[in-house]
């Protein structure tokens, strides 16, 4: 079933598992290679230590994150690069067909991005996207919102309220697309229309 776009002027996309392919197990495996004995992240994007949430909302710097990860790993010799590589291992690719979908939608709608992410991930993703697609990732959106920059994360109601405020959209004219039910519920509290992308459905087949 495709999203209902009646009276919709704005579309807000989530990033991970919507536009961007992710493999959480890749990061779990990479951290285990560095000495981790328990899961640091699971498929529900639930973290085992507050430092991951702190990084996502900009309360912790990348340097503070790496210091804490060394403690979690009990591996003081782990380098910044090893930690960053393990943390980034979950990030796969943004297929060209999804990039084209966003570009096409912008001809009719204001298209935004709202992602729970962090400085380590987004800096490298932007670089790789430019190398792969030949354009800057933020340029395909009206505006991109990242949790570590707005200091709010989904599914908190305040995070959606902040995106509404910063983007200037009217919630009732806005469709929010995400793969996590909790995030969908958070957006609905603001009056946004929502579409829950389930079971790995290919987003580009819906628009």
pLDDT in tens, 35-72: 887 666 554 545 668 899 999 999 999 999 999 999 98
CATH class of 24-88: mainly alpha
pLDDT in tens, 102-132: 999 999 999 999 999 999 999 999 999 999 9
pLDDT of residue 15: 98
* 3-class DSSP assignment, residue 64: helix
Binning pLDDT at 50, 70 and 90, where does residue 200 land?
confident
Rounded to an integer, what distance in angstroms lies between the CA atom of residue 121 and that of residue 118? 6
Indicate left, alpha or beta for 166 from its phi (over 0: left) and psi (-120 to 50: alpha): alpha
Helix axes 119-133, 62-73, angle to 10 degrees: 110
Domain spans of the chain, in order of start: 10-21+94-205, 24-88
Is 10-21+94-205 assigned to CATH 1.10.10.10?
no
Stretch 18-38: mean pLDDT? 89
Q: Do 106 and 142 form a contact (C-beta atoms < 8 A)?
A: yes
pTM value is: 0.94
pLDDT in tens, 133-184: 999 999 999 999 999 999 999 999 999 999 999 999 999 999 999 999 999 9
């Amino acid at each position: 079933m495709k999203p209902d776009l009646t009276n919709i002027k704005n579309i807000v996309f989530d990033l991970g598992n919507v536009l961007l392919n992710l493999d959480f197990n890749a990061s779990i495996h990479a951290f285990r290679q560095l000495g981790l004995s328990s899961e640091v992240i699971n498929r529900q994007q639930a973290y085992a230590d507050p430092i991951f949430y702190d990084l996502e909302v900009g309360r912790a710097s990348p340097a503070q994150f790496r210091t804490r990860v060394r403690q979690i790993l009990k591996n003081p010799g782990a380098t910044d690069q090893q930690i960053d590589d393990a943390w980034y291992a979950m990030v796969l690719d943004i297929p060209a067909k999804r990039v084209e979908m966003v570009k096409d939608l912008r001809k009719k709608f204001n298209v935004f991005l709202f992602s729970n992410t962090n400085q380590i991930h987004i800096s490298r993703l932007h670089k790789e996207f430019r190398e792969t697609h030949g354009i800057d990732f933020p340029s395909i959106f009206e505006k991109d919102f990242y949790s570590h920059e707005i200091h709010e994360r989904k599914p908190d109601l305040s995070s959606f309220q902040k995106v509404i405020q910063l983007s200037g959209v009217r919630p009732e004219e806005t469709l929010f697309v995400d793969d996590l039910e909790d995030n969908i519920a958070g957006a609905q509290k603001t009056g946004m229309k929502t579409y829950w992308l389930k079971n790995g459905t290919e987003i580009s087949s819906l628009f």
